[in-house]
Chains A and B, each alone.
Chain A
Amino acid sequence: MDRIPILKFGNALLVTIQVDMHDRLATALEEDLTSKIVAHNSRGVLIDISALEIVDSFIGRMLDNIAAVSRILDADTVVVGMRPAVAITLVELGLSLTGVKTALNVERGMALIHDRLAGSEADDADDQD
């Protein structure tokens, strides 16, 4: 069965969706991602959907779910590279993915995660004082 590769990138995970998502693939990704977050103790998840042309409500829900699960496991989810047509579709479907952070491209998304990590490390340092 096809799987979407999940790459470890420092203390973040990078997922690049380059095929059309069907429902089973989406469910598998959700499960894989959850176990990888725990396994690598990751603090951020970056999902690049710049190649995704078609979304439906299920994929939208999946993105929301991933974000919710990651948040419980103390990792930030950033969705990057969404196409205009996809954004419009999701909004029309009523899925504005409020729990998900977004960025224009992988670079900015990574910067977002790093900022957050730097912030939380500073907090930790403050706590130790």
Chain B
Amino acid sequence: MAAQAGVGVASLVSRNEKTILPEWVELQKKAGILHTGRISEGELQSQSRNFLHLLHEALTQGGTDTSGAAYEPARAMLADLSRTRALQGFSPSETATFIFSLKQPLFNALNRDGTLSAEQIASTVSTSTALLDELGLFTLEIFQKSREEIIVRQQREIAELSTPVVKLWEGILALPLIGTLDSQRTQVVMENLLQTIVDDEAEIAIIDITGVPTVDTLTAQHLLKTVAAARLMGADCMISGIRPQIAQTMVHLGVELNVISKASLADAFAVALRQTGRAVVKTRRIEGFALPGKKSGGQDA
């Protein structure tokens, strides 16, 4: 029965391919697919032609069972299409329109076809509706999945991007943290920092949390873990860039960071230089201020 219905739809498609295709493309254009500028008309034409062809083959071979092997090429093509559209930034409905807009041309063709009895028309309509709905849902599912993949990938990239370890001086590292600290990120941060401590033989690591929006007890715990691990490796840790509100919140929460903490990265860096036995010295006096009688060399600030 199913195979028979499939053959019915298939023959309908093959008999009316010449009229269905332009109508279908026209409908898609009317839905505004081309206005987005993400796809050219030629591309749309070839995608539609391809799919119609694959659908026809699948219908003749595998009936209406869309999960069957005969639909493999058609499904692959749809998956590819929705993945591409997800990447190109199409909306879900724009993507689903590709399949759903095929219904109208199909029914038009059915109406024009004089050879079929009323009963045959009814069964063909119900079969093709069910078929296209299934394919439409499949398209949406793939679309959703691709979007989720994109989100996961971006999350990973953000995590990697936001945890650079910067070498400030020989033996002094800085770790400017940006964004919320969760357990997963702390793990990445910690591993990065510890590995760099080994590679650079660093004595002091400054963790700068200017870019951390909130510090709660959990974040503080993560920070302390990182500090403790760095200490075990033989490096001293400092925390800098605690903003006034955060300092207040931390005190209210009863969070205590038992490490050297400085208001700014510059202060922490100065301490680090002192601890490693270095000092910053001004090498040139600004002439205009030091010697008012002399003509300034044009370099004073």
Binding site for B on A (CB under 8 A): 79-84, 86-88, 90-92, 96-97, 102-105, 108-109
Contact = CB atoms under 8 A, between A and B. Distances in A.
Contacts, number: 54
16 contacts: A82-B233, A84-B191, A84-B194, A84-B197, A84-B229, A87-B232, A88-B194, A92-B225, A96-B228, A96-B231, A96-B232, A102-B234, A104-B202, A104-B203, A104-B235, A108-B234
Contact of A91 (B195, B201, B203, B232): B232
Contacts of A83: 198
Contacts of A79: 232, 234
A2 B32 CA distance: 79
Contacts of A82: 232-234
B190 interface: yes
Contacts of A91: 225, 228-229, 232
A105 B233 CA distance: 9
Contacts of B197: 84, 104
B188 to A, nearest CB: 11
Contacts of A90: 229, 232
A32 to B, nearest CB: 24
A88 B231 contact: no
A102 B231 CA distance: 7
A104 B234 contact: yes
Nearest to A112: B234
A81 B229 CA distance: 12
A126 B155 CA distance: 60
Interface string B184-199: 0000001100110110
Interface in B167-216: 190-191, 194-195, 197-198, 201-203
Given A82-B234, A84-B198, A104-B235, 9 more contacts: A80-B234, A84-B195, A86-B232, A88-B194, A88-B229, A91-B225, A92-B225, A102-B234, A104-B197
Contact of A97 (B198, B201, B203, B232): B232
Interface of B: 190-191, 194-195, 197-198, 201-203, 225, 228-235
A80 B202 CA distance: 13
A87 B201 contact: no
A87 B203 contact: no
A83 B225 CA distance: 15
Nearest to A90: B232
A93 to B, nearest CB: 11
Contacts of A88: 190-191, 194, 229
Contacts of B201: 104-105
A95 to B, nearest CB: 9
A87 B232 CA distance: 6
Which of A81, A90, A102, A108 has its CB near the most chain B CB atoms (within 10 A)? A102
Nearest to A97: B232
Contacts of B234: 79-82, 102-105, 108-109
Contacts of B194: 84, 87-88
A103 B194 CA distance: 13
Contacts of A97: 232
A104 B229 contact: no
Contacts of B230: 87
Contacts of B231: 96, 102
4 closest A-B pairs by CB: A84-B194, A103-B234, A104-B234, A102-B234
A52 B234 CA distance: 15
Contacts of A96: 228, 231-232
A108 B232 CA distance: 14
A102 B233 CA distance: 6
A120 B248 CA distance: 41
A109 B233 CA distance: 11
Which of A84, A88, A103 has its CB near the most chain B CB atoms (within 10 A)? A84
A84 B191 CA distance: 7
